[in-house]
């Protein structure tokens, strides 16, 4: 059986800067197969961006060879090569004097696509970015940072590129926006089957997004593997430190999914409810926040007792004081991939939503502590089991 040609291959690649005689990367060899989501991770100066930029010839190779779809990148015209590889950077790279429409179709226009095809592509891509079509006629300055980065992401797909390079694209964003964009990229990659090379220094981000992780340190390749392989078989102490003790501990819960520890009956209220109804429910259920859903149980946000109290005399509806959810998890996700980020957030619970954005439960900090209890003392320990039930109303909402 013929072996499939990798989308990207580094073969004994090194990069040395002549003036300083410093090696940015040294004798790197690994492959990225078609459809993989490959995260390059390491500390600052480890060679992540240098390596990635060799793929589109923005960095030259001192020794060794880089292949794209089986061809030496040196055989490509660099401008033509870059037009056929998507590229997303931290600052989004949008042209401020161009509309969003003009930004999105920039590369297809350079490739001389017909006008009808350009117009169709712009509408398709703004939909992919989950933004209104009316935004096509706005300028980048009229969009938020997160919205601009969404445009940057879909622009990389504009010419139907099979290979996308992303250089710490979400590093400068707030946690809410970052989480949202991670979900967008993960969804698009799964749906479209693109090959993505993603530079990050955030292990949580790599574990969430990657199908292959490449660990770099001081310009050298330390380990290549799936998230499972990295978590369960770290190559050395550097990889263990990069992963962190919490994540290593969470890796023990290999088969435990979020749905196995979530509480399936969270306290919630309709977005059309009044503040009086919300206050009554809070009092009855002895909670200080309520998750808010629409008529079809889609999660819309939450309200808190503090906001309700301050606005009670001037506003009437739950929708008037709605606040966005910082982050969510899916019921089929593994606990090991979410353990650390749930515990380190300054919140007592995280909502669980299905693929249709419907609220199906919550994961509380106490339920995670219960898992730790059971891993230490076994399932017979009753203190851990009662912990979830006792705290389900006080901590869950």
**What CATH number did the domain enclosing 245 receive?**
3.40.50.300
Asked if 323 and 301 count as a contact pair (C-beta separation under 8 A), the reply is: yes
Range of the domain at 242: 8-250
Same domain, 288 and 353: yes
The reply to whether 346 falls in a domain is: yes
Phi, then psi, of 368 in degrees rounded to 5: -70, -40
What pLDDT, on a 0 to 100 scale, did the predictor assign at position 381? 42
Using CB atoms within 10 A of its CB, is residue 113 exposed (0-12), middle (13-18) or buried (19+)?
middle
**How many C-beta atoms surround the C-beta of residue 199 within 10 A?**
26
Same domain, 231 and 298: no
Asked if 204 and 341 count as a contact pair (C-beta separation under 8 A), the reply is: yes
Evaluate if residue 211 carries a pLDDT over 90: yes
What pLDDT, on a 0 to 100 scale, did the predictor assign at position 163? 95
> Residue 338: how many CA atoms within 13 Å on its side-chain side?
28
What pLDDT, on a 0 to 100 scale, did the predictor assign at position 385? 36
Per the structure, the count of domains in the chain is 2
In sequence order, which ranges of 72-174 are alpha helices (DSSP H)? 78-83, 100-104, 106-110, 115-128, 145-155
381-to-255, 375, 384, 391 alpha-carbon distances in Å: 20, 10, 6, 17
**What is the rounded distance in angstroms from the CA atom of residue 357 to the CA atom of residue 292?**
12
313-to-307, 320, 385 alpha-carbon distances in Å: 11, 12, 42
pLDDT confidence bin for 391, thresholds 50/70/90: very low
Evaluate if residue 250 carries a pLDDT over 80: no
Same domain, 203 and 298: no
What pLDDT, on a 0 to 100 scale, did the predictor assign at position 219? 92
Asked if 154 and 126 count as a contact pair (C-beta separation under 8 A), the reply is: yes
For the stretch 352-387, pLDDT in tens is: 998 888 999 998 877 776 665 565 455 544 333 333
Total-model pTM: 0.69
The reply to whether 3 falls in a domain is: no
Phi, then psi, of 251 in degrees rounded to 5: -65, -20
What pLDDT, on a 0 to 100 scale, did the predictor assign at position 337? 66
Give the end of a domain, one of 232, 250, 268: 250
Give the end of a domain, one of 250, 281, 310: 250
The reply to whether 2 falls in a domain is: no
The reply to whether 108 falls in a domain is: yes
What pLDDT, on a 0 to 100 scale, did the predictor assign at position 397? 43
Same domain, 211 and 283: no
Same domain, 181 and 315: no
Give the end of a domain, one of 195, 223, 250: 250
Closest C-alpha to 154, from 110, 120, 122:
122
For residue 318, give the CATH number of its domain: 3.10.580.10
What pLDDT, on a 0 to 100 scale, did the predictor assign at position 186? 87
């Amino acid at each position: 059986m013929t072996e499939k040609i990798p989308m990207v291959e580094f073969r004994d690649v090194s990069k040395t800067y002549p003036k300083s005689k410093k090696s940015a990367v040294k004798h790197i060899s690994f492959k990225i197969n078609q459809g993989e989501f490959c995260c390059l991770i390491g500390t600052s100066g480890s060679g992540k961006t240098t390596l990635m930029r060799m793929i589109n010839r923005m960095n030259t190779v001192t020794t060794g060879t880089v292949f794209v779809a089986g061809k030496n990148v040196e055989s490509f015209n660099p401008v033509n090569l870059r037009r056929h590889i998507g590229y997303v950077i931290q600052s989004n790279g949008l042209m401020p004097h161009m509309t969003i429409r003009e930004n999105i179709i920039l590369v297809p226009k350079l490739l001389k696509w017909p006008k009808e095809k350009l117009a169709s592509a712009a509408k398709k891509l703004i939909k992919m970015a989950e933004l209104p079509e009316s935004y096509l006629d706005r300028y980048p300055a009229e969009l938020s940072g997160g919205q601009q980065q969404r445009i940057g992401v879909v622009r990389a797909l504009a010419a139907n590129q099979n290979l996308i390079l992303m250089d710490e694209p979400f590093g400068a964003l707030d946690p809410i926006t970052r989480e949202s964009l991670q979900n967008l990229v993960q969804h698009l990659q799964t749906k479209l089957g693109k090959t993505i090379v993603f530079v990050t220094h955030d292990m949580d981000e790599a574990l969430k997004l990657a199908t292959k992780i490449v660990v770099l340190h001081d310009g050298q390749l330390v380990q290549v593997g799936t998230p499972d392989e990295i978590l369960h078989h770290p190559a050395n102490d550097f990889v263990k430190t990069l992963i962190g003790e919490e994540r290593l501990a969470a890796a023990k819960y290999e088969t435990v999914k979020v749905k196995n520890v979530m509480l399936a009956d969270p306290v919630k209220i309709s977005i059309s409810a009044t503040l009086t109804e919300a206050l009554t429910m809070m009092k009855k259920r002895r909670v200080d926040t309520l998750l808010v859903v629409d008529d079809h149980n889609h999660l819309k946000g939450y309200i808190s007792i503090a906001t309700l109290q301050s606005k009670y005399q001037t506003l009437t509806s739950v929708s008037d004081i709605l606040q966005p959810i910082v982050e969510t998890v899916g019921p089929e996700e593994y606990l090991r991939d979410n353990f650390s980020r749930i515990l380190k957030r300054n919140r007592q619970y995280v909502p669980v939503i299905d693929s249709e954005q419907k609220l199906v439960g919550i994961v509380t900090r106490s339920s995670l502590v219960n898992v730790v209890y059971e891993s230490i003392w076994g399932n017979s320990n009753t203190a851990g089991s009662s912990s979830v039930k006792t705290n389900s109303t006080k901590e869950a909402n």
